[in-house]
Amino acid sequence: MHTISAHELPIVLQDGEFELRMREEGDMIVNFVKMPAGANFVEPFSHLEGGRCQCPHYGYVLKGRIYTDSEAGRQTYNAGDVFYWAPGHVPGAIDDSEYVDFAPKTEFLELIDGVRKAMGG
C-alpha cells in the first residue's frame, strides 16, 4: 500500500488554469483535477458518443463547486461531496474547483485520447 500525492503526479492535460494529473493503479486511473470557474467540456466532448463522457467516475470534491450535465439534467457537487458520474455526462465548474476521481483504466484512457485530439494535442 502507498500514498498518492497530487503534486507527485505528472500533468497529462493542461489548458490555461485547467489541469489533469493522472496515475494508473492496476485497472483503475487516479485523477487529480483543477478546473477554473466557468470551465466546461462541451467542446472537447462534442466528438464523443452522444457528445458526453461514456466513462464512469467515482470521486470526491476537494474545493469549490462542480457539476455534470446529463440527459437527467444538471447535478451540482460541493466541496466535501462524494460523487458517482454514470456514463453520459459532461462536467464543468461553477467555482475554482479541485477534485479527485477514480475511473476504469481502459475507458478513461480512450476518453483522454479523444480529449487530447479535440484540444489539438
Give the residue-averaged pLDDT of 71-100: 97
Whole-angstrom distance, CA of residue 5 vs CA of residue 78: 22
Please give the residue that has the higher pLDDT: either 5 or 74: 74
Residue 55 carries which side chain, given as an amino acid letter?
A: C
* pLDDT higher than threshold 90 for residue 120: no
Whole-angstrom distance, CA of residue 36 vs CA of residue 70: 21
Q: Minimal CA–CA distance to 34: which of 54, 58, 53, 14? A: 14
| Chain centre distance of CA 100 | 8
Which three three-digit cell numbers place residue 61? 470534491
Q: Give this prediction's pTM.
A: 0.92
Whole-angstrom distance, CA of residue 6 vs CA of residue 105: 18
Would you state the pLDDT for residue 116?
81
